[in-house]
Amino acid sequence: MRSIYAQGDFDGACFLYSIVNAYTALQGKAPEFGAVCAALAQVDHPGDFLNGCVGTTGAYDKDYGLLAANISRVLAALGNGTFMVRRVPGPFAESALAELLSARSVVLLRYMGSSRHAAGMDHWVCAVDYDAERGEAHVACSVRFNHACDGPACAYAETMRARFGRWANDILSAADEHTIVEGEVFVISLSA
């Protein structure tokens, strides 16, 4: 059974999937399909996400206000909660996730490089937990399912992270060569 949403083979919508996966992690349940359709219908420059080579590297590239506005708009349209979105400017070290993640917050981030299960990515994920002892960020990744099931055997698994009760399906760690894209880190908090 999957709890983390996966994107299609030809889209560049990992940014949008990371927002829906953030909602699911914070609410503890998936949004209704109709709410997701309505929410995604409101994004600016929707054509960018239908092209696997564009995504947020088109109209959204380095437009932090546009990124934040669309995160907020999608979350509001999904309903059932009030969310606060805050961008973390400047260079970002994964160890900062230890302070940013809580029972009421997740972190959307864009990385370039490799994760435990994917190589050569320019990708948005939702960080749901951080293991400080091992230096590992546990993330909900929208391409993990497709990478695991590309062939005869499907080696896909999701892990329940007990600390916050959230599902993860990939890991970012120092052992994997990647960088977090500067300025493209957003803390999403569920308001009281």
* Spans of all domains in the chain: 14-190
Cα–Cα distance measured from residue 113 to residue 120, given in angstroms and rounded to the nearest whole number: 5
Mean pLDDT score, 43-68: 90
In degrees rounded to 5, what are phi and psi of residue 169?
Answer: -135, 5
Q: Are 40 and 15 in contact, with CB atoms under 8 Å apart?
A: no
If one compares 50 and 20, the residue with the highest pLDDT of the two is 20
Rounded percentage of the chain residues whose pLDDT exceeds 90: 73
Mean pLDDT score, 42-66: 90
Eight-class DSSP state of 29? S
The string over 66-78, giving b where at least 16 C-beta atoms fall within 10 Å of a residue's C-beta and e elsewhere, is bbeebbbbbbebb
Show Cβ contacts of residue 112 under 8 Å, excluding neighbours closer than 6 positions.
121, 122, 123, 178, 179, 181
Q: Are 115 and 176 in contact, with CB atoms under 8 Å apart?
A: yes
pLDDT value for 166: 97
The label of the residue with tokens 């109209």 reads 59
Q: Are 50 and 40 in contact, with CB atoms under 8 Å apart?
A: no
Neighbours of 130 (CB within 10 A): 24
If one compares 147 and 27, the residue with the highest pLDDT of the two is 27
pLDDT value for 5: 76
Residue pLDDT, tens place only, 94-149: 999 999 999 999 999 999 999 998 889 999 999 999 999 999 999 999 988 877 76
pLDDT band at 152 (very low <50, low <70, confident <90, very high): low
Q: Are 21 and 4 in contact, with CB atoms under 8 Å apart?
A: yes
pLDDT value for 9: 60
Angle between helices 64-78 and 14-27 (to 10 degrees): 50
Determine whether domain 14-190 maps to CATH 3.90.70.
yes
Show Cβ contacts of residue 23 under 8 Å, excluding neighbours closer than 6 positions.
31, 74, 75, 78, 83
Rounded to the nearest integer, the mean pLDDT of the chain is 91
pLDDT value for 114: 94
Cα–Cα distance measured from residue 76 to residue 119, given in angstroms and rounded to the nearest whole number: 33
Cα–Cα distance measured from residue 188 to residue 38, given in angstroms and rounded to the nearest whole number: 20
